[in-house]
Structure formats: C-alpha cells, structure tokens
C-alpha cells in the first residue's frame, strides 16, 4: 500500500512512521465526544450540576428504554450524533398497549413513558387513555428521585404531567 511515497502496508517499516506522522480516520468512541462532553457544550453555562446530571440521565434513558440494556454494554457514546445537526426533540411520549394482540405481561395492560428533556413541566395527553388509571412505576415511586415522584396522571383526560429533565414510566394495571 502506498502511503505518500512510502510503503504503508502491515509489517512494513514505513507503516509506523506514517501512522505517527498522519492521523488515520477511526470510528472508535475515543475519537468523539461522549454524551457528557456534548451536553457540556450544548447546555446553558448557567445550568446547575444537578440539572446537568438529570439531562445526562434523560439522554441515556432513550437508549435504555427504547433499545434494551444490551446497548449499555458498549457505553453511553452510542448516543453520539454523527450529523452534528444539533436538533433534538424536547419531549417524547411512547405507549405500549398490551390489550391488543398476545398478552405479553398478564400483570399489565400497558405502559406509557414520557421523556421530558425541557426545563419545564410538560403535560402530555395520550390518545385512547382518557378514563384509564395509570400510576408511576413502583421502581420510580419507591426510588430515591424526588423529582420523578412529582409526576401525575389525570385519569379523566388521560394526561401525564412530568417534571423537567425527567423520564417517567407510568403503568396501567
């Protein structure tokens, strides 16, 4: 292989010199910013450390809850954007309806997950759930995060209110 007039193939004496002199493109995680690094650049400088940590957690939750924990094995940098578009959605609401098709979990009728990466409480009305009772997941309701416990569900309207920088999992039994 020719490397600027020098042999650059594996095992050639010139390969080491060429690598030291020229940076080869790589796809490893170490070549790009981590999620935390990216948030450091993008979040307002006046944002408090607890809010920065919550934003990091909200961002990681999109992988944990949408793609399964197998992606955690490779690390948080799976969330890096190669497009550098800088556009990210502020609120995502997902619903899993276990009343249609095979009964996946006999103890649940469904789950609603609201990702709120904004700095304000959001209210999300979920179509088809007016009149249905949902509660915060027992893991979150009994956990140490006091902010997520502020999440509310209004049965009459099928509406979830989720605090800022929070991912809330509501279950329907």
Per-residue model confidence (pLDDT) at position 41: 86
Which of 23-27, 114-118, 169-173 is the least confident region? 23-27
Q: Say if 5 falls within a structural domain.
A: no
Per-residue model confidence (pLDDT) at position 67: 58
Per-residue model confidence (pLDDT) at position 68: 57
Per-residue model confidence (pLDDT) at position 25: 39
Q: What is the distance between the alpha carbons of residues 81 and 61, in angstroms, rounded to a whole number?
A: 16
Q: What is the distance between the alpha carbons of residues 36 and 19, in angstroms, rounded to a whole number?
A: 29
Does 142 share its domain with 83?
no
List pLDDT tens digits, range 47-92.
999 999 998 888 888 777 765 555 555 545 444 444 555 555 789 8
Per-residue model confidence (pLDDT) at position 89: 79
- Whether residue 162 is predicted with pLDDT greater than 50 in this model: the reply is yes
Q: What is the distance between the alpha carbons of residues 89 and 99, in angstroms, rounded to a whole number?
A: 28
- Whether residue 168 is predicted with pLDDT greater than 90 in this model: the reply is yes
List pLDDT tens digits, range 102-158.
998 999 999 999 999 899 999 999 999 999 999 999 999 999 999 999 999 999 999
Does 104 share its domain with 156?
yes
- Whether residue 19 is predicted with pLDDT greater than 70 in this model: the reply is no
- Whether residue 20 is predicted with pLDDT greater than 50 in this model: the reply is no
Give the domain CATH number at 156: 2.60.40.1180
Does 17 share its domain with 73?
yes
- Domain of residue 55, residue span: 11-87
Q: Say if 1 falls within a structural domain.
A: no
């Amino acid at each position: 292989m020719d490397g600027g007039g020098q042999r650059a193939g594996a095992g050639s004496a010139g390969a080491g010199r060429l690598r030291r002199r020229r940076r080869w493109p790589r796809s490893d995680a170490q070549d790009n910013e981590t999620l935390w690094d990216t948030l450091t650049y993008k979040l307002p400088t006046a944002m408090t450390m607890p809010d920065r940590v919550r934003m990091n957690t909200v961002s990681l939750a999109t992988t944990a809850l949408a793609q399964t924990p197998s992606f955690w094995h490779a690390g948080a940098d799976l969330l890096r954007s190669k497009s550098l578009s800088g556009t990210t959605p502020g609120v995502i609401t997902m619903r899993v309806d276990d009343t249609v098709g095979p009964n996946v979990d006999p103890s649940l009728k469904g789950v609603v997950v609201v990702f709120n990466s904004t700095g304000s409480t959001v209210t999300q009305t979920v179509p088809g759930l007016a009149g249905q009772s949902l509660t915060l997941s027992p893991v979150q309701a009994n956990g140490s995060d006091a902010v997520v416990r502020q999440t509310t569900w209004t049965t009459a309207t099928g509406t979830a209110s989720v605090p800022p920088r929070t991912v809330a999992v509501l279950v329907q039994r």
